[in-house]
DNA sequence: TCATCAATAATCCATTTGGATAGTTTTTTT
DNA sequence: AAAAAAACTATCCAAATGGATTATTGATGA
């Protein structure tokens, strides 16, 4: 049984999709959330071996949209694979979703069988599921990179996590392996303040330790 | 009938592939070349409406390899679609071939039916044919752009710090932001042991905190 | 002007980490 | 088979970190 999570703001969509998947008994749909925040919340509550292995994620959601959710989720739970399921193949979103860490991109219109097929393939081979028309778009984007839009290489990505300047500054020091005291000294502020900033950073990154924060900082190019 | 061209230096491959395609009578294999130069030569000799619409191209060829051939061919004959057919999925080549203008990338191992299927799809929908495992690699390349290959990268960053396999394993988990307990759980060992390993790692890296260690791990590419 | 927000600072308390030390078991090498 | 190297487990203690809460200041904006 492959453990599946479904995140979509429309309850009906979740039900239909879960039904589609449950029809063959390879899937165990065990997480169901209406938005990103709810999803992260529920993930936190699950033990390691109860978490879904594959998460199907809608992009358009209130409160916390799919891209941000994937970005944080894929850093928090690197073992989980995120597959974007959407109704329209919108160029910008594709690219952003991929950058955020989605490992596949499917159109909702695909039949239940195709989706099931593709998820099984993802699970067994690790091969990323991509609808053909999406794959083609990706190729085109590589061949003709959109004007400036998205810096492919190590450029700093736009402020995905809404960190303030000060917070970014402190995150950079943190990434160099400095501890609170040392950062405080460098910035001529109190170590308590540094700590407060760090906690605020964790909140924005949805993490709760230095390790996780650095992981996100390094993998999402926040420096 | 879809007009097909095949470019491969091994005559046998050409024959087998042509046979596979001719089996269903949708394809008209009408151009056959052993290398890039021969291919371009033959293309010149053909009239516009005799030219292949899709060209299956091997990458490893003498005289003029697949990448260069696609690059020049796709400028000379923009209407022609180039599909790379190769036996191994070599990361560098994928990217270069795509940039050169290939619109698809298939593994030779795929069965004749799948190849046929996919080519028909390419012809009718314009959707790019991509083997799932290739698609996945492309995603990964977008997600983690190859870290500017500098002298250090090529040199064995492997044993720079003489970490044992186990230590590298643990360092990787550490870099994902896991704490001792979690790592212990994943490896089915005691948290004390994890800690011991971590201390040993710090010794070898000449650091004394997680922050420093992760900094080195990320910047020196120890993962 | 009033409200909000970022940055600053501090305290209490629980948890995690780092260091030192001392063992046992497994694996590899000689 | 003996010796050496990794891997494993443990305990004590001190330091660093994370979380919650409260409060002051200055800048920005409605």
- Residue A222 vs residue A56, higher pLDDT: A56
Chain A: nearest CA to B13, how far in angstroms? 26
Given a cut of 50, whether residue A149 has pLDDT beyond it is: no
> Which chain B residues are Cβ-neighbours of A139 within 8 angstroms?
98, 103-104, 128, 130, 138
- Best of B127, B184, B201 to disrupt the A interface (most A CBs within 10 Å) is B127
Chain B: nearest CA to A103, how far in angstroms? 7
**Predicted pLDDT of residue A152:** 34
**Predicted pLDDT of residue B211:** 92
**Predicted pLDDT of residue A153:** 36
Given a cut of 80, whether residue A219 has pLDDT beyond it is: yes
User: A110, exposed or middle or buried, with CB in 10 Å at 0-12, 13-18, 19+?
Assistant: middle
**Predicted pLDDT of residue A211:** 92
Q: How many CB pairs under 8 A join A and B?
A: 126
Q: What is the mean pLDDT of chain B?
A: 76
What's the whole-number mean pLDDT along residues B182-193? 91
Tokens of B42: 């033959």
Contact B127 A138 (CB under 8 A): no
Q: Is B206 part of the contact surface with chain A (CB cutoff 8 Å)?
A: no
- CA-based nearest residue to B105, from B127, B131, B126, B87: B131
Q: Is B15 part of the contact surface with chain A (CB cutoff 8 Å)?
A: no
Q: Which residue has the tokens 């952003």?
A: A96
What are the backbone dihedrals phi and psi of residue B8, each rounded to the nearest 5 degrees, phi first? -160, 140
What are the backbone dihedrals phi and psi of residue B150, each rounded to the nearest 5 degrees, phi first? -110, 165
- Please list, in sequence order, all residues whose beta carbon lies within 8 angstroms of the beta carbon of residue B94, skipping any fewer than 6 positions away: B84, B105, B134, B137, B138, B141
B157 CA vs D14 C1’ separation (Å): 35
What's the whole-number mean pLDDT along residues B13-19? 85
Angle at B158 between CA B156 and CA B159, to 5 degrees: 100
Percent of residues, chain A, with pLDDT higher than 90: 15
Residue of B nearest to A97 (CA): B143
Contact B185 A48 (CB under 8 A): yes
Given a cut of 90, whether residue A184 has pLDDT beyond it is: yes
Percent of residues, chain A, with pLDDT higher than 70: 71
DSSP annotation of B128 reads P
Measured CA to C1', the nucleotide nearest B188 is: D8
- Residue A114 vs residue B198, higher pLDDT: B198
**Predicted pLDDT of residue A123:** 67
Contact B143 A98 (CB under 8 A): yes
Chain B: nearest CA to A187, how far in angstroms? 18
- Residue B218 vs residue A150, higher pLDDT: B218
Given a cut of 70, whether residue B130 has pLDDT beyond it is: no
Q: Which residue has the tokens 């239909």?
A: A16
Q: What is the mean pLDDT of chain A?
A: 77
Among partner residues A138, A177, A179, which is closest to B138 by beta-carbon distance? A138
pTM > 0.75: yes or no:
no
Tell me: the pLDDT tens digits for B132-180? 555 556 655 555 554 433 333 333 344 567 788 889 899 999 998 999 9
Residue with CA nearest to D16's C1' atom: A179
What's the whole-number mean pLDDT along residues A64-73? 79
Confidence of residue A132 (pLDDT cuts 50, 70, 90): low
Tell me: the pLDDT tens digits for B78-120? 678 888 877 655 556 666 666 666 777 776 766 666 677 667 7
B217 CA vs C28 C1’ separation (Å): 28
Q: Which of residues 139-198 of B touch A (CB under 8 A)?
A: 139, 142-145, 147-148, 174-179, 182, 185-186
A199 CA vs D19 C1’ separation (Å): 8
> Which chain A residues are Cβ-neighbours of B174 within 8 angstroms?
211
Tokens of B145: 């752009």
**Predicted pLDDT of residue B193:** 94
What's the whole-number mean pLDDT along residues A158-164? 74
Alpha-carbon distance of B140 to B134, in angstroms, equals 10
- Residue A153 vs residue A114, higher pLDDT: A114
What's the whole-number mean pLDDT along residues A139-168? 58
Tell me: the pLDDT tens digits for A76-121? 787 788 888 776 555 567 667 776 777 777 777 666 666 776 677 6
- CA-based nearest residue to A196, from A206, A207, A185, A184: A184
Confidence of residue B65 (pLDDT cuts 50, 70, 90): confident
**Predicted pLDDT of residue B133:** 55
Among partner residues A75, A139, A178, which is closest to B211 by beta-carbon distance? A178
> Which chain B residues are Cβ-neighbours of A216 within 8 angstroms?
177
Give the number of C-alpha atoms closer than 13 A to the C-alpha of residue B8, restricted to the C-beta side: 20
Alpha-carbon distance of B129 to B115, in angstroms, equals 9
B204 CA vs C23 C1’ separation (Å): 22
Least confidently predicted of A117-126, A143-152, A194-203 = A143-152
B98 CA vs C3 C1’ separation (Å): 55
- Best of B95, B142, B209 to disrupt the A interface (most A CBs within 10 Å) is B142
- Residue B109 vs residue B25, higher pLDDT: B25
Tokens of A193: 């303040």
> Which chain A residues are Cβ-neighbours of B216 within 8 angstroms?
177
Tokens of B114: 């799948």
Q: For residue A176, what is the enclosing H or E element?
A: none
**Predicted pLDDT of residue B191:** 92
């Amino acid at each position: 049984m492959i453990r599946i999570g479904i995140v979509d703001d429309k309850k009906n969509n979740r039900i239909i999709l879960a039904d589609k998947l449950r029809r063959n008994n390879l899937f165990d749909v065990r997480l169901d959330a209406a938005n990103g925040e709810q999803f992260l919340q529920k993930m936190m509550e699950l033990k390691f071996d109860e978490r879904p292995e594959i998460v199907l994620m809608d992009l358009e959601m209130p409160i916390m949209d799919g891209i941000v959710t994937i970005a944080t989720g894929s850093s928090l739970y690197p073992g989980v694979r995120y597959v974007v399921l959407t109704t329209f193949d919108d160029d910008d979103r594709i690219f952003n979703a991929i950058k955020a860490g989605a490992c596949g991109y499917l159109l909702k219109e695909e039949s239940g069988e195709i989706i099931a097929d593709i998820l099984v393939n993802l699970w067994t081979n690790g091969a990323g599921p991509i609808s053909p028309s999406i794959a083609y778009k990706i190729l085109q984007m590589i061949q003709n990179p959109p004007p400036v839009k998205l810096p492919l290489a190590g450029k700093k990505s736009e402020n995905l996590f809404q960190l303030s300047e000060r917070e970014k500054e402190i995150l950079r020091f943190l990434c160099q392996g400095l501890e609170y005291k040392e950062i405080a000294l460098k910035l001529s502020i109190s170590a308590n303040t540094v700590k407060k900033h760090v906690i605020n950073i964790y909140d924005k990154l949805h993490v709760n330790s230095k390790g996780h924060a650095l992981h996100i900082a390094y993998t999402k190019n926040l420096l």
